[in-house]
Amino acid sequence: MKLTTYSTDQAGLQAFYEAIIRAHDTYGPVEKFGKFDFKKVNSLSECDPESPIPRTMSVKPLFFPKSAKVMKYTATSAGTELSDTAEDPLAGKRVILGVKHCDARGLQVLDAVYKWDYIDTDYEKRRENTILISPRCDQAATHCFCTSLDYDLETLDAVDVAVINGADRKIYLQARTEKGETFLKENATGLTSANGSAEAEMKKQYETFAASFRLKMNYQEINERMQGQFDSPTFEEVPSSCVSCNTCAFVCPTCHCFKISDEKIRDKGVRYKSYDSCNNVYFTLMAGGHNPRPVKYRRWRQRAMHKFVYYKERFGVNLCIGCGKCTTSCPVNISIFEVVTKVASSMQE
């Protein structure tokens, strides 16, 4: 597919964003308590699409909210009556500004599990109705390692419209999907078609970006080695300082475990689907009291192996996308990069 590319400058991009915010339901990164989080915006001044990485939360909550209503129920003398919840607030047509490429890739990875066995219709609808506009980073942050993983950031088709800085303060807007192509053509007022040098400039931008990474791993090798590391003693050593909170899973763009719980007063209640985390000690607790992962290192092993081995085996994509959000949010600064590389290299000893 030949991708449409437009070129513009900083002022043109601002005008493009403003036009989108006027015409569509728009979400963008909004600063709250000194960190960025995706919220609904009514003007460009409220959000900062170019906000720096790392952010607290990815776009995940807009597709898989921290707590979503599943159904309502009322207990009557004749039995329990079930009813649907009100309309899904996230299901309408919308545009999300300022999504980082890693976040968008996270959604692509989540699609694999959400469109597998049981198809989650809510999630699917939210995905279909959303346009992701993603500025490509110019500089890697401390804990980023997205270029080392199993996807090509340069031509990533998880984003609908990529915003890439070119030479001479030029900015290129490139459609990456058909949805993005239609959207971009509809909203292209004030943008000019890019000339021949665009490809080369975008490639150059990618190369300087890729060169700014400090963390690099050989993904193939790590994946292969991790497969035999289930009993590795390194799992007991490295994450021993973990405090077993759920932060890493809640901020992760690809963690998708949830729990079902009820909120009830008297005879009326709502069933909710909320985030859960495999680092939580109750995650595997069964009725009857048996817990297969009662200790920290087993839970950590599950987390690391799921991120780097199991998901790849089952769905063909790696679950970790290298955004580094878990590491920056961790209360005790445990780095998943460090754990994984240490575990993988411990085989040689």
Partner 1 sequence: MEAEIKEKIVSMEKPHMEAPPDWQPVIMGILCNWCSYAGSDLTGTSRIQYPPNIRIIRVPCSSRVDPWFIIKSLQTIADGVLISGCHPGDCHYISGNYYARRRFLVTKKLLNFVGFHENRVQFSWVSAAEGAKFAKVVTKVTEDIRKLGPLHLYKKENS
Partner 2 sequence: MDYTKQIQDIAGRLFSEGKIDIFIGYRNTGFDENQVPVLIHQYKDVDQLLFTDKSVFNLANYLKYEHTRNKRVGLIVKGCDSRALNLMLTESQVKRENLYIIGIACEGVVNETGEKAQNCVECMMPDAVVYDELLGSATGKREYQVNADIRELDEKTLTDRVEYFEEIFENCIRCNACRHSCPLCYCAKCCIDQETATLFHGANTTSSAFHALMTWSLHLAGRCVDCRNCEKACPIHLPLHLLHKLNEKVIYENFQENLAGMTEGDRGAFYKYSLSDPDDFIL
Q: Footprint of partner 1 on this chain (CB under 8 A)? A: 72, 263-266, 268-270
Q: Which of 37, 88, 122, 199 binds partner 2 (CB under 8 A)?
A: 37
Q: Which does 22 bind (CB under 5 to 8 A by kind): partner 1, partner 2, none?
A: none
Question: Which region among 10-18, 27-35, 103-111, 300-308 touches partner 2 (by CB under 8 A)?
Answer: 27-35
Q: Which does 72 bind (CB under 5 to 8 A by kind): partner 1, partner 2, none?
A: partner 1
Nearer to partner 1, 221 or 263 (CB): 263
67 is a site residue for partner 2 (CB under 8 A): yes
Nearer to partner 2, 10 or 333 (CB): 333
Site for partner 2 in 297-326 (CB under 8 A): none
Q: Which does 183 bind (CB under 5 to 8 A by kind): partner 1, partner 2, none?
A: none
241 is a site residue for partner 2 (CB under 8 A): yes
| Minimum CB distance to partner 1, residue 266 (Å) | 8
Q: What 3 state SS string does the chain have?
A: CCCCEEEECHHHHHHHHHHHHHHCCEEEEEEECCEEEEEEECCHHHCCCCCCCCCCCCCHHHCCCCEEEEEEEEEECCEEEEECCCCCCCCCCEEECCCCHHHHHHHHHHHHHHCCCCCCHHHHHHHHCEEEEEECCCCCCCCCCHHHCCCCCCCCCCCCEEEEECCCCCEEEEECCHHHHHHHHHCCCCCEECCCCHHHHHHHHHHHHHHCCCCCCCHHHHHHHHHCCCCCCHHHHHHHHCCCCCHHHHHCCCCCCEEEEEEEECCEEEEEEEECCCCCCCCCCCCCCCCCCCCHHHHHHHHHHHHHHHHHHHHCCCCCCCCCHHHHHCCCCCCHHHHHHHHHHHHHC
Q: Interface residues with partner 2 (CB under 8 A)?
A: 32-35, 37, 56-57, 66-67, 142-143, 214-215, 240-241, 243-247, 249-251, 259, 261-265, 269, 272, 274-275, 277, 280, 282, 295-296, 327, 329, 331-335, 337-338
